[in-house]
Structure 1
Amino acid sequence: MRASIRIVLTAACLICGIAAFAKAFAGEEKMLRGTVSKVSDGDTIHFDDAASGETLKIRMVGIDAPEAHLPIPGGGPMVGQGKWGDAATAALERLTPVGTKVVLQDLGLDKYGRTLGRYFYRGRDVNLQMVRLGQAVPYVICDGPSCDRDFFEREKVEDYLKACDEARAAGRGLFNPAHPLREMPYEFRLRMQKRTPDKFVGDFADRSLHEPTEIRAVDVCRRIFFLKREYATRLGFHF
């Protein structure tokens, strides 16, 4: 009898473990409540978690804002994209000034130790708002386990790409025809940090796939980045 109970308990633990792994693999997030304590630039804030008291540096997922203060190899003064970086920072400060209470969707850490997240103010996706204002462009990265069949829906990819198109059509922010941003943040970082492009680039509209060096072959409002070719082909993108 005791042996049977042990078998049942062991099986139950295995099932729970498998379920937990599946949730982690699928990228299940946690929601945190807290306060904006600093706006660093157009896609980075500091967030004070109400429950733990911890301050998290948040890299806002799904978007890329013009650089305000980018470190470069060898040290020296940081570089930025001038008025576009300043405008993006100011826009985010207006949306959620320091002291604003928000809800953070915590999506884990990036390789720099920052928390990746999407945050909400009064139920509105602030990341998405930055794209709508033309103060950031979509920056969708399919990076491995998250690249499952629900990836595009889960990441609200169509919403972000549509917001980009609308901002450009209206001439907002970095799409202002009087002084448009000529070099997107991703390309600026590559050039200033003397890095070689390493992400494959997909076109969300026609599912075409391009080499990392062919980034300009894909419209900025349709780009999907893939760390590996197989991640792209898994989702129906092909050369």
Structure 2
Amino acid sequence: MSWNCNGGARVALRAARTGAMGLVLVLAAMSGAQAQSGEAPSAQAGTPAWAATVTYVVDGDSIWVRSAERGARVKLRLLGIDAPEVCQSLGPEARQALQRMALNQRVRVAVRGRDRYGRALATVVRAQDGADLAQTMVRAGWAWADAFSWHRAAYAADEASARDGRRGVFAQATAERPSDFRRRHGPCVPAKR
């Protein structure tokens, strides 16, 4: 699939693709059902985690998971990081790195809030070894510690280590933060065929 950058079209595309209202309803249904079981995704720190399986990797910081308990699919953005856009230099490689570490893996999800696109912001930990997916992406050099998040301090040392080791995007002397790329080009949208 090829990608073009286009300012406001990404929000509309995401809403059309995910059915923004459908996503809200799925999250609401999951919250209600999981509240009965004692596992409720919410925006509060210390939120109990719920089990899921990663079913799709959108890019280097966004995934789809299927709840183990209810089978509902939920789109998540990994909290505390910003990975290259898929139409940005090394964006496809960042996506592939997250696919290798997460696709079809069982995970524990703790939702902490929502982003401006309505995606759930979550800490996602691989069940088999307890690896925090966001931290692993930063350590490998495929994402920046999010400069606009309270969670940034958790991954700042990992980003510094990746920079020093020239891993992932930091192997390029001119690596551009995704937020700067989006400001200049707008977000990525699939090219029309």
TM over 0.5: yes
Is contact 2:43-2:111 (8 Å) kept?
Answer: no
Q: Residues 172, 101 of structure 1: CA spacing in aligned structure 2 closer, same or farther, 3 A cutoff?
A: same
* Equivalent residue number for residue 60 of structure 2: 42
* Equivalent residue number for residue 49 of structure 2: 31
The question of 1:114 aligning with 2:130 is answered no
- Aligned-CA RMSD value: 2.0
Q: CA deviation at 1:111?
A: 2.5
Q: Residues 158, 110 of structure 1: CA spacing in aligned structure 2 closer, same or farther, 3 A cutoff?
A: closer
2:148 and 2:118 map into 1 onto residues whose CA distance is 17
Is contact 2:84-2:178 (8 Å) kept?
Answer: yes
1:103 and 1:181 map into 2 onto residues whose CA distance is 35
1:30 and 1:106 map into 2 onto residues whose CA distance is 9
1:56 and 1:25 map into 2 onto residues whose CA distance is 15
Partner of 2:146: helix, strand, or coil? strand
* Equivalent residue number for residue 67 of structure 1: 85
* Equivalent residue number for residue 139 of structure 1: 146
Q: TM-score, normalised by structure 2?
A: 0.68
**How do 1:1-239 residues align onto structure 2 when only pairs under 5 Å count?**
27-68=45-86, 80-82=87-89, 84-97=90-103, 99-121=104-126, 122-142=129-149, 155=151, 157-176=152-171, 179-193=172-186
Q: How many residues align?
A: 144
- Matched letter for residue 117 of structure 2: Y
Structure 2: gaps spanning 5 or more residues? 1-41, 188-193
Is contact 1:174-1:181 (8 Å) kept?
Answer: no
Q: Could you tell me the percent identity over the aligned residues? A: 33
Q: CA deviation at 1:181?
A: 4.4
